[in-house]
Amino acid sequence: MIVRSHQHWFYRLFTWHGSVLPQILLRLLLNLAMSLCALALYPWLKMLNSHLTLPPFSLLGIAVAIFLGFRNNASYSRYIEARKIWGSVMITSRSLVRQTLCAVNGADNAKMAAKYLIAFAWCLNHSLRATSAKADLQRLLSDDIADPLLARHAMANELLVKIGQFYAKLLRAGELSEINYRNIDDNLNELSRCLGGCERIANTPVPFAYSLILQRTLYLFCTLLPLALVVDLQWFTPLVSVFISYTFLSWEAVAQEMEHPFGEGANNLALNAICTGIERNLLEMTEQTPLPPLNHVDRYYNLT
């Protein structure tokens, strides 16, 4: 995710990185080519007294704008929900370490709980992005714990089981009281709900038919628009047509990008920064060093 300091509005007009312009540039060039074709065909169409008019496009444009608004709202809701879930992962992880520090004897138990919870955050991150968790698991956990986890399909869920077994072992050994164990188990259930919420968002995209009919209508609208504009605008047709197409196509591109909040794009959630924040918080709470370094994005996400 891109995190920028305040930028003057004039410079922001020319910002390239993080905008959707690179994704829609080819489609805008096609619209420009269609506008030039409309200019070339205009004398012939005028001679035949055959041309498109603006009223149908005005009605269709309103309909497309409404559907794009719904699509953007749906995509942004998924993005915000995903961010709230990861905020809950951070809060619950802190609570578990605090409860372990206060309710369990021995600093080593709290340090081990912190390692487990940090590994869970990174494991969930890699699961959502379909990347390898091997390096992070081997960095945080011993080989006899990390290797069986890497062989599992649902690593994050299996790691939750390991964390639950860790606290159950402390309960049976008399190092954790029953009431404190229940409170800890409530937080483990919250982590399980966070895991399920992330999987629900990642595995349930916006219905394909909804996206398909919107894209077909939008592309047809942008393709035929120059034929209707050329009658009144003539040589200004390419400029106005490309600008209108940019507005509609960029909305559609933004919605498509935010529909998948766990991706690695410039406008997706900064999961690595969130996991780094969780790791730093838990290591500080258990007085472990060294702490992972922060970049400017990590500093922005270090607190939830």
What pLDDT shows up at residue 288? 87
Q: Are 103 and 175 in contact (CB under 8 A)?
A: no
Distance (Å, whole) CA 248 – CA 267: 18
What pLDDT shows up at residue 96? 96
Q: Is the same domain home to 284 and 188?
A: yes
Q: Are 261 and 268 in contact (CB under 8 A)?
A: yes
Q: Is the same domain home to 122 and 96?
A: yes
In a domain, 12, yes or no: no
Q: Is the same domain home to 184 and 295?
A: yes
pLDDT means over runs of 10, the chain (304 residues):
57 67 89 91 76 80 87 91 96 96 87 95 94 92 90 92 95 92 95 96 86 88 89 88 92 88 87 92 90 62 48
Q: Is the same domain home to 284 and 231?
A: no
Q: Is the same domain home to 28 and 155?
A: no
In a domain, 221, yes or no: yes
In a domain, 14, yes or no: no
Q: Is the same domain home to 217 and 201?
A: no
Q: Tell me the pTM.
A: 0.85
Q: Is the same domain home to 105 and 194?
A: yes
In a domain, 9, yes or no: no
Q: Is the same domain home to 159 and 293?
A: yes
Distance (Å, whole) CA 216 – CA 232: 26
Range of the domain at 117: 91-205+268-301
- Locate the DSSP E strands across 104-162: none
Q: What is the number of domains present in the chain?
A: 2
Q: Is the same domain home to 193 and 101?
A: yes
In a domain, 10, yes or no: no
In a domain, 200, yes or no: yes
What pLDDT shows up at residue 234? 84
What pLDDT shows up at residue 13? 65
Q: Is the same domain home to 57 and 175?
A: no
For residue 59, the Cα-to-chain-centroid distance in whole angstroms is: 33
Residue 84 zone, left/alpha/beta (φ > 0; ψ -120 to 50; rest): alpha
Q: Is the same domain home to 45 and 105?
A: no
In a domain, 29, yes or no: yes
What pLDDT shows up at residue 304? 46
What pLDDT shows up at residue 303? 46
What pLDDT shows up at residue 296? 46
In a domain, 83, yes or no: no
Distance (Å, whole) CA 39 – CA 238: 9
Q: Is the same domain home to 149 and 238?
A: no
Amino acid identity for residue 266 in this structure = A
Distance (Å, whole) CA 186 – CA 27: 51
